[in-house]
Structure 1
Amino acid sequence: MGDTEPGSSTAAQSAPIDPISRPQSDTRRIVRKSSGWFDRMKAAFTAKTSDTTALAGANSSVVPPQPVQRPGMVNLRRMRVDDVAIPKAEIVAVPLDIKKEDLVEVFRESGMTRLPVYKGTLDTPVGLVHLKDFALTHGFNGKGERFNLRKMLRPLLYAPPSMPIGVLLQKMQTERMHMALVIDEYGGVDGLVTLEDLVEQVIGEIEDEHDVDDDAFWTQSAPGVFIAQAKAPLDEFEAAIGMRLTDEEEEEEIDTLGGLVFLLSGRVPARGEVIPHPSGAEFEIVDADPRRIKRIRVRLPSAVKPKVEA
């Protein structure tokens, strides 16, 4: 067999089709389309990578925001007792040898219905006293018996700080107890948690009949004495009581009554703490948690008469 000449028809039919053999105009068109598509893809990915790298570099020193803890059933297994318990320093408790008049005052000032009772120190709890037991025995149409706190004591529940709140909630339901003390590894009291604290992690904050209505930022409980929400607008409260509580510099920084109390104390004050004001007014913390102030009892100086009855 002889070699086929390049110019023969057989060579033309058997040779593979090569883009180079196409007309020059077609070749330029193919190359332009191919280069343009790849160029656009390369440019897009390069731009995204550059932007991401620049953004990461710019935000390398920024602390990412912490997720907001929202109420829900998932909190029952995700949250622990020490996440919701109030610290030991904020526990309102009474000694076993307290007098009846003093116990009445603690119930009145704290607004609590259950108080832990201890012997010597809070690290030696002996039980809790319920306001209903005390009232039925020594008030209203009670038996009028001689005051004996030991006879009115109810048992307390104890929980480690690492216990999931769902486990403690079930235990409270089973044993019909509404209060538990958080005990550390040495047996000392580390905090306190109530049934309401646990339920609020599932359904949100619970307001009872003694809480200030959301529509009313404050109410007047006595002449010159107000029970106010910490979020009450400071300028409106000043107008109601007829006195200034801030100067011009502080007025620009503070919007709420709770903000004023925080500024005066320099921290989040504990429940039951009294913060004095230079004018002679007093701010008593009625309700608070470790993160914020909730309700405040404001006592005005005797010389000040409110302009508006809240």
Structure 2
Amino acid sequence: MDDISTGTLFIVLAVLIFISAYFSGSETGMMSVNRYKLRHLAQSGNKSARRVTQLLDRPDRLIGLILIGNNLVNILASAIATIIGMRLYGDYGIAIATIVLTLIILIFAEVTPKTIAALHPERVAFPTSFVLSPLLKVFYPLVAAVNFITNNMMRLLGINPSAAGKDTLSAEELRTIVHEAGSLIPSRHQEMLLSILDLEKVTVDDIMIPRNEITALDINDDLQSIVRQLNNMPHTLILLYRGEIDDAIGFLHARDMLRLLTRSHEPDKASIVRAARDIYFIPEGTPLSVQLVKFQHNKERIGLVVDEYGDIQGMVTLEDLLEEIVGDFTTSITGQTQEHIHRQADGTYLVEGTMNLRDLNKELKVNLPIDGPKTLNGLIIEEFGDIPQYPMCIRIAGYVIEILEVTDNRVEQVRIQPKRKRKSR
């Protein structure tokens, strides 16, 4: 070292600081790169992305290589800085060199390159992979020896090094990613993706048509009444039952009924029963994600929801299920949701008691509890603990609900007062 000029040592020191900055930036860039975007680029044929993916498959080796190189460079830089300091300032040069080198490394070899790499990880990770890949092969024996020691130390602490790089996303994390996608994903598509993620939380009980609202035909009625109902049937499918809805016979399709009415002016009851199609039963509490697959597997579009005793609780159609993903269609077997809600001039809403709570929350952007009763009528009765009288008001989840009409022990109509926004001071 005595034969090397001070100017040359300054040049070597600058080169070492630059190399240290490279290793520091490489570490941050490699660890900060988006793994899922990286996999997409790698699968699309991006060679740089493939190299980075291969390096990140074993992060212990990558970190070991970077830290070995960084520490060697920093130690050598410290030694050269000490020599320069002693040449310029004598014994005080050691302290001066330590302070100055620490500041230089901190600013130029740590904070600055790591900040740049954190802000632009791909721009740093992709070019550095050209250098790190061959370096890993050259220094592999040393890296392997260091990893052998560190990995065994981690195993003593109960950490499995082989589990690295196998990160997965939960449904909640996926939901957060969709929310934060912003303009990258259109808002309509975001809503659909979030609805798909919610399918596991929603059951057929939440979207089914209640049994009292099912359009059905009693085969025990007189023949003229049955034919009249068939002619005026508003839906493609109608449930046929005997006496009461729990004694369901099957579903009548519009095509089958048209064929019956065409062949005979007044078909007999036996022919109507024979035309009925088999009923597809759905256990209550079935998640929508499961039921969607079952509809597809069984080639069905409609089913009756039954409880543990076999009693019919409601009806679910494929259209109802798809509306949970893509939103309401123009027509529905139960009619438009807007028919149950009427906006008033004063900003309040007149709502029918039979309104489904989940649909009500979506339409009015409110947050009424849905973990109990499924309808507004059921929620009011559960909250009040009795059949309420009218007119009267009740507050549920912060919303003022005025009961306007009660008939047959059921809340028929209410007025909902939306929460008023607080004025900012």
| TM bucket, shorter chain | 0.3 to 0.5
**Higher relative contact order by CA 8 Å / sep ≥ 6: 1 or 2?**
1
> TM-score, normalization: structure 2?
0.33
From the two aligned structures, give the one with the greater helix fraction.
Answer: 2
> TM-score, normalization: structure 1?
0.44
From the two aligned structures, give the one with the greater strand fraction.
Answer: 1
